[in-house]
A = this chain, B = another copy of it.
């Protein structure tokens, strides 16, 4: 499956979540990652991501999950931020 993860996390946890996602997905820009992931990895990742959220803060994460890339079109305007190198 393919996922897009966008986050808005306060404080030092922003660095931690970036490092966490960098090991699993491709960095698109700022606080946006995307990539192919297995169902089992997705379940683990979703649970891990919940731990980054502090309930008394304005933290939020949105995960868009697709069973296939077949049904969407991705358009890049400008320069890609990062070469695809950080996948485990």
Contacts and interface: CB of A to CB of B under 8 A. Distances in A.
Given A64-B72, A65-B72, A73-B65, A59 B79 contact: yes
B62 A76 contact: yes
Could you say which interface size class chain A belongs to?
35 or more
Interface of A: 4, 6-8, 28-32, 46, 49-50, 53, 55, 58-68, 71-81
**Chain A binding surface, main DSSP class:** strand
Q: How many monomers of this protein are in the complex?
A: 2
Contacts of A65: 72-75
B32 A60 contact: no
B31 A62 contact: no
B76 A60 contact: yes
